[in-house]
Amino acid sequence: MLKQRIITALVLLPFALAGFFLLDGTLFALFIGLVVSLGGWEWARLAGFAAQSARVGYALLVAVLLFGLYRVPAFAPWLLALGVAWWAVATAMVFNYPTSSRYWGGAIGKLLIGLLILLPAWQGLLLLKQWPEANLLILAVMVLVWGADIGAYFSGKRFGKRKLAPRVSPGKSWEGVVGGLLTTLSICVAVGLYRGWSVSGLLLAMAGTLVVVLISVVGDLTESMFKRQSGIKDSSNLLPGHGGVLDRIDSLTAAIPVFAALLWLSGWGAQ
């Protein structure tokens, strides 16, 4: 399994890095749109649609909606706000599972939830790509999510005792969350000192880091919640040794729109 994971990572990493950091404009939108549409194909299965025709149809719906959003950029702030609102609701759903499952709205409700997860993440990445220091912003949100994952893994493994959401993901602990937060806050402080941020700027960045990392945990737990409800271990087997696309981007789908919204509120997009 480890060998398979390494081979898959080595094959996909150059394409992922090129897509995120070398493409711009329409090509970047198409690249991210492909990833998100594949996520839609996987989400349809989590929503209870096992037939390939239904899953492909949902992926095509996602692609069509992305095209429409790309053609009408005025919807961007509203979609971002909708995404932030969804993740606030998702937080309550995760920590009230399985009771909260009665409010999902059945199969159709799950499909709508999939749109709330996927579309704002795509929109957030497009906005980041258009703003000053675009690639550094994209790298920053990825480092926050990856740093949180790494810190949570080692801290949880060493100190984990108090379960975070045992009915959703029994392996995650509050100690792991704290370890992830400390890791990302350390990264934030190191970057702030290197770049000469003011004290107020650094404090704001640290507060933003806390919000983004905590919501990235919710993103991970949300997919776990729907997989548990569906009795599915991985969203698909598209990535040998890694599961599916959603398994790799679940935390990012939550972190990206919140990260972009915080930057927007700070006036970054107006620079």
Exposure string over 177-192, b if 16+ CB within 10 A, otherwise e:
bbbbbebbbebbeebb
Residue 270 has pLDDT above 60, yes or no: no
Helix axes 245-265, 25-46, angle to 10 degrees: 120
Between residues 239 and 261, the one the model is more confident about: 261
pLDDT band of 2, cuts 50, 70, 90: very low
CB 8 within 8 A of CB 239: yes
At residue 239, the 3 state secondary structure works out as strand
- 74-94 pLDDT, tens digit each: 999 999 999 999 999 999 999
Residue 223: predicted pLDDT: 94
Residue 160 has pLDDT above 90, yes or no: no
Phi, psi of 158 (to 5 degrees): -85, -40
- 10-27 pLDDT, tens digit each: 677 788 888 888 999 999
Residue 141 has pLDDT above 80, yes or no: yes
- 55-77 pLDDT, tens digit each: 999 999 999 999 999 999 999 99
Residue 35: predicted pLDDT: 95
pLDDT, the chain, mean:
92
| Token pair in block for residue 125 | 């990445």
Q: What is the pTM of this model?
A: 0.94
CB 153 within 8 A of CB 166: no
pLDDT band of 42, cuts 50, 70, 90: very high
Phi, psi of 186 (to 5 degrees): -65, -40
Ordered DSSP codes for 70-96: HH-GGGHHHHHHHHHHHHHHHHHHHHT
How many CB atoms within 10 Å of residue 176? 25
Residue 5: predicted pLDDT: 58
How many CB atoms within 10 Å of residue 194? 8
